[in-house]
């Protein structure tokens, strides 16, 4: 299994690529044959998966103890379509008219390392709060520090904008930054914003982002997410070729909204942290 992990880290995308390690015995020692690799993978059951997860968590704890811990813990959750070119087990049609799987993955933003994932059939729903919480729990179990001991942030796109997921984050004492669909209630809130309420968005170097502005809609939006939840919006001049809604076209700007329970008073900082949301890229 360790040799397979090294193969993936070295760019391998199929089991046969382990031959690259087999050709370097002075570096990797004895490496299993292709049939041995297949038998090992085929023999792994649920207990074996839990043991692998426990080993990864233990290795991460040792690494963090020696100074590898990130300055802040931000977990990105994202679903991504994975095509299958044959009728593999659980492969189904997808919402984009493809065929394959729709896994949800969790990544640690500071290092890009995969923390957890669940493989789902292609027809799985995007807004499945139970699946999001399952992956979040598995990701938290990989971290040497508990949410009760340090502040953590989980980011998702609008697929995470469900009451069950938001309530689950609050119960787990994890901060969240979740994309919010622009529905009629959000559009009504935009219409109440005065031009002078918009403030410039910022760049990571502290400079002003050209053509982008922010506003907090919390007191203007009749949401039901709870008293701790804030609603923050961004508008920007659309780039050439941007896909705009009718509302965007009428207003002349591209709009994005997210909800969060972070307490920072500087919404530019919150929005900049939001923009760093990592899109999941699973290893195949």
110-136: pLDDT as tens digits? 998 899 999 999 999 999 999 999 999
H helix or E strand, kind and range, residue 254: strand 254-260
The pTM is what?
0.87
Half-sphere exposure (Cβ direction) of 67: Cα atoms closer than 13 Å = 0
The alpha carbon torsion through 13, 18, 108, 67 (nearest 10 deg) reads -160
Q: Which CATH number fits domain 70-171: 3.30.450, 3.30.750, 3.30.420, 3.10.110?
A: 3.30.420
Per-residue pLDDT, averaged over 35-60, amounts to 91
**pLDDT in the model for residue 284:** 38
**Across the chain, which distance is largest between two alpha carbons, in Å?**
69
- B/e letters for 29-68, b = 16+ CB within 10 Å, e = fewer, are eebbeeeebeeeeeeeeeeeeeeeeeebeeebeeeeeeee
- Whether residue 218 contacts residue 225, with contact meaning beta carbons closer than 8 Å, is answered with no
Question: Scanning the structure block, which residue is given the tokens 């203007």?
Answer: 220
Domain boundaries, the chain: 70-171, 180-284
Mean pLDDT over 154-172 rounds to 95
- Of 166 and 85, the one with more pLDDT: 166
Q: Does the structure show a pLDDT above 60 at 283?
A: no
On the question of pLDDT at 280 being above 80, the answer is no
Q: How confident is residue 282, by pLDDT bands cut at 50, 70 and 90?
A: very low
According to the model, what pLDDT value does residue 275 have? 87
Half-sphere exposure of 230 (CA within 13 A, CB side): 17
Q: Provide the pLDDT for residue 278.
A: 55
Say if residues 123 and 102 touch (Cβ distance below 8 Å): yes
Q: What is the CA radius of gyration of the chain?
A: 22
């Amino acid at each position: 299994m360790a040799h397979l992990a090294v193969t993936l880290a070295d760019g391998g995308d199929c089991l046969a690529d382990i031959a690259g390690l087999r050709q370097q015995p002075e570096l990797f020692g004895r490496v299993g044959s292709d049939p041995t690799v297949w038998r090992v993978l085929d023999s792994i059951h649920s207990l074996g998966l839990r043991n692998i997860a426990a080993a990864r968590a233990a290795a991460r704890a040792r690494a963090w103890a020696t100074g590898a811990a990130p300055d802040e813990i931000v977990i990105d959750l994202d679903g991504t379509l994975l095509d299958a070119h044959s009728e593999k087990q659980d492969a189904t049609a997808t919402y984009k008219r493809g065929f394959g799987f729709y896994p949800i993955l969790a990544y640690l933003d500071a290092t890009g390392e995969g923390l957890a994932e669940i493989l789902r059939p292609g027809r799985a729903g995007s807004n499945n709060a139970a699946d999001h919480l399952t992956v979040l729990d598995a990701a938290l179990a990989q971290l040497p520090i508990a949410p009760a001991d340090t502040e953590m942030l989980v980011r998702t796109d609008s697929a995470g904008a469900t009451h069950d997921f938001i309530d689950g984050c609050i119960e787990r004492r994890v901060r969240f930054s979740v994309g919010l669909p622009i529905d009629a209630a959000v559009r009504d809130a935009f219409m109440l914003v005065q031009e002078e309420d918009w403030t410039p968005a910022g760049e990571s170097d502290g400079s002003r982002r050209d053509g982008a502005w922010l506003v907090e809609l919390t007191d203007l939006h009749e949401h039901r997410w709870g008293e701790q939840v804030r609603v923050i919006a961004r508008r920007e001049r659309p780039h050439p070729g941007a896909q705009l809604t009718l509302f965007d076209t009428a207003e002349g700007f591209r709009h994005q909204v997210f909800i969060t329970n972070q307490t920072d008073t500087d919404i530019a900082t919150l929005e900049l942290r939001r923009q760093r949301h990592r899109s999941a890229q699973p290893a195949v």
